[in-house]
Amino acid sequence: MNILLSGASGLVGTACSAELRAAGHDVRPLNRGTGGEGLPWEVSTGRVNLQDFAPNALIHLAGENIAGGKWTEERMKKIRASRVDATRELCDFLAKLEKPPEVMLSASAIGIYGPRGDKWITEQTPNSTDFLGELCYEWEKATVELERVGCRVVHMRFGIILSPNGGALKKMLPAFKMALGGPMGDGRHWMSWIALEDVVRAISFLLDHAAAYGPINIVTPNPVTNAEFAETLARVLKRPAFIRTPAGLLRMLFGDFVDAALLSSQRVKPQRLTELGFEWRRPELEDALFSML
């Protein structure tokens, strides 16, 4: 399969590219710069210099890091532009090709649901109206032009992706290794997670399954509370985990991002992945952490 890949240099993109190439696919990264590997991509217009490459599929992972700083008005505009506007322009360009891609796997996030306490969340749960909820809703709607020309579009609603090489786990590890880790806030909020290894396997799985379309939660069937997560990580590292980070301190340091993401309770069920027959290699947190650490 000929695959276009945006966000190829990110945590998921790097792992995904290696796996897909090993499986025999021709993967071409979209390059937003002036040099380096890949096909030149003009983000503002969506135009890609495809040269003689005819893509069958697009895996779209590019976007500004939402955890890269406080959510000022300027930063929120930058996040929205990198996700909503860039996705819309890219899909509009590809939809006009003589032969558009047959399938698009587009990144989204479980942040679309907002905080739900102890309630189970499925793909049928309505989106929230906070910043993340509206961002993800617009992000998913930005693929409409490709859908109109018959492309099978999957909106991959990622949970917390665990890897020591990036994301939340990488940021937590130094404190936990020094026995300074522990729960955030009261620790009762739910964390819906998935190992990077299973993310890559899910992407390959969704590429090949014609019945996969629309929103799909990319998490394990076994979410944990933040307190359980801290306890498990500490046990795997053979360290204590009793230093609790007060919610007030987190809000002072990170602003609105804290309640929308760090302390947001989301108990997400991967209903569609289960229905499609996907099998997790690392469905339990302790095994997943042990295997990667």
Asked if residue 251 has pLDDT above 80, the reply is no
Sign of CA pseudo-dihedral 269, 121, 88, 103? positive
Asked if residue 155 has pLDDT above 70, the reply is yes
Separation between Cα atoms, residue 58 and residue 218, nearest integer Å: 18
Asked if residue 34 has pLDDT above 70, the reply is no
For residue 50, the enclosing domain spans: 2-292
The C-alpha angle with vertex 178 and arms to 70 and 173, in degrees rounded to 5, equals 50
Give the pLDDT mean for 143-165. Answer: 97
Tell me, rounded to whole angstroms, the distance of Cα 3 from its chain centroid.
19
> Could you tell me if 158 and 124 are in contact, meaning their C-beta atoms sit under 8 angstroms apart?
no
Asked if residue 20 has pLDDT above 70, the reply is yes
Residue 284 has a pLDDT of 98
Residue 257 has a pLDDT of 65
Give the pLDDT mean for 263-275. Answer: 96
Give the pLDDT mean for 166-195. Answer: 93
Separation between Cα atoms, residue 65 and residue 54, nearest integer Å: 30
- What's the alpha-carbon Rg for the chain, to the nearest Å? 19
Residue 98 has a pLDDT of 96
For the segment 190-240, what is each residue's pLDDT rounded down to a tens digit? 999 999 999 999 999 999 999 999 999 999 999 999 999 999 999 999 999
Tell me, rounded to whole angstroms, the distance of Cα 285 from its chain centroid.
18
For the segment 62-115, what is each residue's pLDDT rounded down to a tens digit? 998 887 777 888 989 999 999 999 999 999 999 999 999 999 999 999 999 999
Give the pLDDT mean for 154-166. Answer: 96
Residue 42 has a pLDDT of 95
Report the predicted TM-score, pTM, of the whole model to 2 decimal places. 0.95
Give the pLDDT mean for 118-147. Answer: 96
State the greatest distance between any 2 C-alpha atoms of the chain, in Å, as a whole number: 60
Separation between Cα atoms, residue 185 and residue 29, nearest integer Å: 40
Residue 260 has a pLDDT of 64
> Percentage of residues in the chain with pLDDT exceeding 70?
96
For the segment 35-59, what is each residue's pLDDT rounded down to a tens digit? 668 899 999 999 999 999 999 999 9
The count of domains in the chain is: 1
Separation between Cα atoms, residue 54 and residue 44, nearest integer Å: 22
- Residue where the block lists tokens 């509009």: 92
Residue 199 has a pLDDT of 98
Look up the CATH number of the domain holding residue 12: 3.40.50.720
Secondary structure, 3-state, the chain: CEEEEECCCCHHHHHHHHHHHHCCCEEEEEECCCCCCCEEEECCCCEECCCCCCCCEEEECCCCCCCCCCCCHHHHHHHHHHHHHHHHHHHHHHHCCCCCCCEEEEEEEHHHHCCCCCCEECCCCCCCCCHHHHHHHHHHHCCHHHHHCCCEEEEEEECEEEECCEHHHHHHHHHHHCCCCCCECCCCCEECEEEHHHHHHHHHHHHHCCCCCEEEEECCCCCEEHHHHHHHHHHHHCCCCCCCECHHHHHHHHCCHHHHHHCCCCEECCHHHHHHCCCCCCCCHHHHHHHHC
